[in-house]
Amino acid sequence: MQTAAKSARAAAHALSAVFRAAPLCCVISTLGGNTGSGASPVVARLARDMQLRCLTIATTPFAWESEQRHRNARAALSMLEQQAAQVDLIRLDDHMSGNEHEPFDAILDRVTAAAMAYYATPRPAPVVKWHPPGPVRDHFDLTRDLARADCPAWLLIGSPAQTVAILPHFAHVQQLGEARQPQGSQDRTHALYRLQGFTGYPTRSDAP
């Protein structure tokens, strides 16, 4: 959060030039992460200091996300409520069906996760990602790790070759078929499975 806030303050001169020609400021932010939680209160305060009406639309994390993200969101929301003329809050959990037995979408890679997040709307449940212990490769590894999701069942989506390494780590596996995703001049094939009983990520001792 501090890094994002510092970056926003560094951009104050450029933002001020934009604000001087604007009738109002509208800040749209996803709270919980570093960028939205850190930068949005700074932008809102700059608008207020320039006597520019600031309207804010912000989302809060899902209940299953980490406590750190919830702390970030609460802190940022408190600051936004002090700086903005109006804050409209969207609680992501309010847009779920409320059925605790709905499966999560377990995604294998960033490209597939991004495609699901964009195309699969409205989503029946959050998108999560298979991320065994190792280097963090993208923001899905940080925010949507499968191991953090408490759910009785998952829908696994991935290439047939990728799913082979995942299936042994669930107690119950049901093959559902395949789905094709248009991708340029070729289609991308995804294998679909319903999974239950996550037994944990593979360890070094699991390697052949």
Which three-class secondary structure string do you get for 150-165?
CCCCEEEEECHHHHCC
Question: Three-state SS for 180?
Answer: strand
**Average pLDDT rounded to a whole number, residues 114-137:** 65
Range among 54-68, 96-110, 125-139, 158-172 rated most confident: 158-172
pLDDT on residue 100: 43
Pairing of strands 170-183, 186-198: antiparallel
Residues 77 and 42: their CA atoms lie apart, in Å, by 12
User: What are the residue ranges of CATH 3.40.50.1440 in the chain?
Assistant: 2-95
Tell me, what's the pLDDT at 97? 46
What per-residue confidence (pLDDT) applies to 193? 86
Among 15-19, 67-71, 159-163, whose mean pLDDT is lowest? Answer: 159-163
pLDDT of residue 102: 46
Domain 2-95 listed as CATH 3.40.50.1440: yes
Of the candidate ranges 48-52, 82-86, 165-169, the one whose mean pLDDT is the lowest: 82-86
Least confident residue range of 36-50, 64-78, 141-155: 141-155
Q: What is the model's pLDDT at position 158?
A: 77
Global pTM reads 0.47
The reported pLDDT for the residue numbered 208 is: 42
